[in-house]
Amino acid sequence: MIENIKKIGVALKILTNKRATVEYPENKEILPDNYRGMLRLDIDTCISCGACARICPNSTITMVDRDTDRGIKKYPEVNLERCFFCGLCEEVCPPKCLVLTKSYTEVVSFDRREFIKEPEELN
Amino acid sequence: MLINELIEIIEYFIVMLITAFAFAYFFGWLERKFVGKFQRRHGPTYLGKFGLLQNLADFFKLLTKEQVWPKKADKLLFLVSVFLIAGFTLYLVMLLPIYNFYIINSSIILLLIFIILSFLPILIALNGYSSSNKFAMISAQRSILLLISFEIPLFLVLIAIGYYVHSYSIVSIVNAQSNLWFLFIMPIGFFVFLMALLAEMERTPFDLREADSELIAGWLTDTGAPYYMLALFVDYIRSFFGAAIISLLFLGGWYGPFGNSFIWLFIKTIFVALFIMFIRAIAIRMRIDRILYFGWIVLLALSIINLYLVYLGY
Amino acid sequence: MSLVKINIGPVHPSTHGLLRLVVTLDGDTIVNVEPHVGFLHRGVEKLAENRMYMQIPPFIEKCDYVAKTAMDEAYVATVEAAMGIEPNERAQYERVILLELQRIASHLLWLGAMLNDLGHFFSVFMWTFADRDKVLKLLEEATGQRMFYVNMRLGGLRQEFPKDFEYHVLDVLAYLEKRINEYESFIENSSLFKERMYKVGVLSRDDAINLGVSGPVLRASGVNFDVRKDKPYYVYKKLNFKPIVLYNGDNFSRYKVRILEIKESIRLIREAFKQMPDGNATGMPIKLINPAPKNKVVRVSREGPRGEIMFYLVADEQRPYRLAMRTPAFINLAALNHIAKGNKFANLFPIIGSLDLVMADVDK
């Protein structure tokens, strides 16, 4: 019985701890610099080697044809529903044109068809 | 005249109803914010300032959901028992006096209140049985077991109070506390009454009804949305009733240092309710056989000792 | 005297994941518990046969979503053993630091979930999740993601620790020490807790060895076996590691072993930071991996937070020929029938909570 009273004492002290949650979306947390979020492609530097499509464990990236002034080249198209943001494609890309940025709010949508991202700048 | 008395009764009825609903709403908000602060998080903050309108939004949402009747359920029995539980609990709240505003001042009113309170287990059993769900029936049986094993210590403490004051009317009990609260005259009785009332209100550590780690949701498993909301609302009215009874019987009612008024009664009720919510946030649930041991052996012995001490001290 | 069968279905608020139990009751006493598993089976062992070595870690990590680094590191160590690569000393220290941080995070989540099973109203759950969030922030700083890190490479890590990482870790460890003492005194000073945990769910020493359990469940029954001491790997010998053993075998011992393990992990991380040499801990990049020798068979065991993780690999040139996984929670679940026989029905959920099951571990 005495220990229950001790427990109430400990609980009253715990009542003075600070809150741990953050009222989103007015206040947000700060992310570190090497956070792996949304993908970005720099189309002018891409050499169309296809290494990112071959290394992906989940077959997320497919190479699609695009018309340029030098003929038909292939660029990566990403299906965001299958991506699990492991970063292997970023590591294996030779000219480092496929990067993962810190943005996490663009990976939501109301329509499933918007998840297949074309290789334009907003890839 | 008869018409005057009728108008008085209706006026009293409306005022008490509004008070009971306001307190039930306020306790719902207070519980969410207080338990949230203890758990290091904000409670509801989005709807209304400080989240005051959150309960209202939940009320409307639950009204719009569909009620699905299982094939073997007994519709009439279920409806009758749910509305009877709500009706009896509101009737109990009517009988409480608030300073000089009461409807009846007979000398056996305390007994009447607790006799009606002990009629509720039968209605709960009917409710659980009519769901024709295995979990609901087991949980209803456990609820009856819980509620009837804590009644005898409760009544023994009431007998001790009645012995001290020579009457069972709540107004005279509060008036007898003008010098010293009953909390200091019979502390063992206060402890027994608090534990027994926690069991009657089905709160932690005795909340077998909501044992979602054992029997999904107890006797409310199969209730559809509107009746679920009614059952939860009745739950909050029962806790308002329990807090008010404790502050009337043991904490001096409406007596306060700067003159007597009903504000002191409300402040004491809120303190007792905060304490009950605090216990909910820190305690773990007792097992059913330990609850029976606690009710039939520990509390019974303590209440008999309390009665004997009051007899000696008087 | 008739026996009743109750089905505690896969969708239940309190089994940790998708677990179906068919319980045979005699009145209020349990006669038999039969778990039906397989609701979360994704065929990881088969998926691994069609992918190259360094494409597999994301799948292995999802086999235990609470302690991801332990599975990842065990797999990468298996591939290293097949190819004959040894990580250098600084890489070994950094791997030990990440593993012990992951162990703290896993035990904190277990603490919250276990008290929920006992009937507590989510208070300790919220506190331990807030503390686990701090540890996850540290791991996020070191690796880049909060949940699925994919951080281990052959011979080291994917990237070095950032600068000032040491000071952040030591701050969080000082904060965690205070908190763990507070939680201990809050939880144990309660007669209700003692009633439900002492002498409930007893597993004797011989039964524990015969059933093949491992991890804290084994050490709480009096058997002094820990992979970090008996088959030592990395730098645990230099850090003076001692396993924690209690002798009663009931729920309370299993709870206490894990709390003491958190404190031991805090001590190990501090020692590792003091002893760490300078150097470079980055492992091999993915483009430069040589093919493995054909038909090489290796077997590696590691100590995860739940028990012993063992990987068995038959290597082919670019892809594994066969990868077999022995996960600890699968075998701990098989001991449930033996422990729960003869107990009351209300004791079943605390026993399941104290075994620390994660259903992805059971089903792979």
Q: For residue B220, what pLDDT is reported?
A: 64
- CATH number for the domain spanning C245: value is 1.10.645.10
**Mean per-residue pLDDT of chain C:** 89
Q: For residue B215, what pLDDT is reported?
A: 56
Confidence of residue A13 (pLDDT cuts 50, 70, 90): confident
Q: For residue C266, what pLDDT is reported?
A: 93
Beta strand pairing call for A39-41 and A98-100:
antiparallel
Q: Indicate whether B208 belongs to any domain.
A: yes
B39 contacts: CB under 8 Å, gap ≥ 6: B281, C122, C123, C126, C127
B192 contacts: CB under 8 Å, gap ≥ 6: B153, B154, B156, B157, B299, B302, B303, B306
Cβ contacts of A21 on chain C, cutoff 8 Å: 130
Domain count along chain C: 1
Q: Indicate whether B22 belongs to any domain.
A: no
Q: Give the range of the structural domain holding residue B120, as residue numbers without chain letter.
A: 71-313
Neighbours of A95 (CB within 10 A): 10
Q: Please answer yes or no on whether B213 and C120 come within 8 Å at the CB atom.
A: no
ipTM rounded to 2 decimals: 0.86
Alpha carbon of B268: minimum distance to chain A alpha carbons (Å): 20
Cβ contacts of A91 on chain C, cutoff 8 Å: 158, 285-286
Tens of pLDDT, residue by residue over C338-348, are 999 888 888 88
Q: Give the range of the structural domain holding residue C141, as residue numbers without chain letter.
A: 4-363
Q: What is the DSSP letter of B299?
A: I
- Asked if residue C177 has pLDDT above 70, the reply is yes
The C-alpha atoms of residue B199 and residue B85 are separated, in whole angstroms, by 17
Residue in chain B closest to C6 (alpha carbons) equals: B134
- Dihedral angle over CA of C244, C247, C250, C253, nearest 10: -30
CB C121 within 8 A of CB B204: yes
CB B103 within 8 A of CB B9: yes
Q: Specify the amino acid at residue B250.
A: F
More confident residue, C121 or C177: C177
The C-alpha atoms of residue C95 and residue C152 are separated, in whole angstroms, by 9
Q: Please answer yes or no on whether C130 and A20 come within 8 Å at the CB atom.
A: yes
The C-alpha atoms of residue C105 and residue B181 are separated, in whole angstroms, by 50
Tens of pLDDT, residue by residue over C182-217, are 999 999 888 888 888 888 889 999 999 999 999 999
Residue in chain A closest to C187 (alpha carbons) equals: A7
Residue in chain C closest to A93 (alpha carbons) equals: C287
The C-alpha atoms of residue C154 and residue C85 are separated, in whole angstroms, by 7
Cβ contacts of A1 on chain C, cutoff 8 Å: 191
The C-alpha atoms of residue B39 and residue B43 are separated, in whole angstroms, by 10
CB C108 within 8 A of CB C135: yes
Tens of pLDDT, residue by residue over B176-226, are 888 888 888 888 899 999 998 888 887 878 877 666 545 555 566 667 778
pLDDT > 90 in chain C, percent:
40
pLDDT > 70 in chain C, percent:
99
Between CA B207 and CA B213, with CA B212 as vertex, the angle to 5 degrees is 105
In this structure, of A62-66, A105-109, C20-24, C124-128, the range with the lowest mean pLDDT score is A105-109
Q: Indicate whether B125 belongs to any domain.
A: yes
Tens of pLDDT, residue by residue over B89-138, are 888 888 888 776 676 777 788 888 888 888 888 888 888 788 777 777 77
CB C334 within 8 A of CB C203: no
Cβ contacts of C123 on chain B, cutoff 8 Å: 35, 38-39, 281-282
- Asked if residue B228 has pLDDT above 90, the reply is no
Q: For residue C128, what pLDDT is reported?
A: 92
Tens of pLDDT, residue by residue over C94-121, are 999 999 999 999 999 999 999 888 888 8
Q: Please answer yes or no on whether A19 and B278 come within 8 Å at the CB atom.
A: no
Q: Please answer yes or no on whether C140 and A32 come within 8 Å at the CB atom.
A: yes
Any alpha helices (H) in chain B, and if so which ranges? 2-38, 54-63, 75-94, 109-117, 120-129, 134-149, 151-165, 170-175, 182-185, 187-200, 225-249, 262-282, 288-293, 300-313
pTM value is 0.90
**Mean per-residue pLDDT of chain B:** 83
Residue in chain C closest to A19 (alpha carbons) equals: C130
B47 contacts: CB under 8 Å, gap ≥ 6: B53, B54, B57
Q: For residue B211, what pLDDT is reported?
A: 61
Q: For residue B314, what pLDDT is reported?
A: 66
Q: For residue C111, what pLDDT is reported?
A: 92
Cβ contacts of A3 on chain C, cutoff 8 Å: 189-191
Residue ranges of chain B whose CB lies within 8 Å of a chain A CB: 37-38, 40-42, 45, 278, 281-282
Cβ contacts of C186 on chain B, cutoff 8 Å: 282
* Chains A, B: CB pairs < 8 Å: 22
Rg (CA), chain A: 23
Alpha carbon of A69: minimum distance to chain C alpha carbons (Å): 31
B residues 245-284 closer than 8 Å to C (CB):
280-284
CATH architecture, domain defined by A31-117: 2-Layer Sandwich (3.30)
- Dihedral angle over CA of A14, A15, A20, A24, nearest 10: 170
The C-alpha atoms of residue B134 and residue B129 are separated, in whole angstroms, by 9
Judged by DSSP in three states, B305 sits in helix
Residue in chain C closest to A89 (alpha carbons) equals: C286
Domain count along chain B: 1
Judged by DSSP in three states, C298 sits in strand
Q: Indicate whether B49 belongs to any domain.
A: no
CB A57 within 8 A of CB C51: yes
Residue in chain A closest to B36 (alpha carbons) equals: A19
CA-wise closest residue to B125 among B87, B88, B78, B83? B78
Q: What is the b/e burial string over C68-90, where b = at least 16 CB atoms within 10 angstroms of the residue's CB?
A: bbbbbbbbbbbbbbbbebebebb
The C-alpha atoms of residue B28 and residue B13 are separated, in whole angstroms, by 23
Q: Which of B42, B281, B282 sits opposite A19 (nearest CB)?
A: B42
Interface test with B, best of C111, C123, C189 (most B CBs within 10 A): C123
DSSP per-residue letters across B222-264: T--HHHHHHHHHHHHHHHHHHHHHHHHHTS-TT--TT---HHH
Q: Indicate whether B37 belongs to any domain.
A: no
Between CA C72 and CA A4, with CA C127 as vertex, the angle to 5 degrees is 130
B residues 63-122 closer than 8 Å to C (CB):
none
Cβ contacts of A7 on chain B, cutoff 8 Å: 282
Tens of pLDDT, residue by residue over B231-256, are 888 888 888 888 988 888 888 877 87
Alpha carbon of A36: minimum distance to chain C alpha carbons (Å): 6
Q: Indicate whether B291 belongs to any domain.
A: yes
Mean pLDDT computed over C17-41: 88
Q: Does residue B288 belong to the interface with chain C, where contact is any CB pair within 8 Å?
A: yes
Q: Which of A7, A14, A32 sits opposite C190 (nearest CB)?
A: A7
Q: Does residue B292 belong to the interface with chain C, where contact is any CB pair within 8 Å?
A: no
CB B277 within 8 A of CB B34: yes
Q: Please name every residue paired with A74 in a beta bridge, in sequence order, or none if there are none.
A: A65
The C-alpha atoms of residue B94 and residue B113 are separated, in whole angstroms, by 10
Report helix angle B300-313 to B187-200, nearest 10.
140
Alpha carbon of B36: minimum distance to chain A alpha carbons (Å): 9
The C-alpha atoms of residue C64 and residue C358 are separated, in whole angstroms, by 7
Alpha carbon of A74: minimum distance to chain B alpha carbons (Å): 49
Q: What are phi and psi of C323, to 5 degrees?
A: -120, 120
Tens of pLDDT, residue by residue over B141-173, are 777 888 888 888 988 998 888 888 888 888 888
Cβ contacts of B281 on chain A, cutoff 8 Å: 11
